[in-house]
Amino acid sequence: MKLLGTILMIAGILGTIVFGIRALENSESFNLLGLEVAVSSANWTPVIISVIVLVVGLLLRRR
């Protein structure tokens, strides 16, 4: 179980980083009353799934 947990944890970390960077790059910014406002049009579902995989991997490693 610890090996599976380690694999899931590494996959979750990599997925969170890759999909997180893609989601952050997929945003548009504009000025509103002198402030720069960024609006994200990204799909955050892969990031959320990657974080869930990371948490499951951490839980399996603790057993």
> What proportions of the chain, in percent to the nearest 5, are helix, strand and coil?
65, 20, 15
pTM, two decimal places: 0.79
Q: Residues 41, 28: contact at Cβ < 8 Å?
A: yes
pLDDT digits (tens, 9 = 90+) for 5-59: 999 999 999 999 999 999 888 878 889 888 888 887 888 999 999 999 999 999 9
Total length of the chain: 63
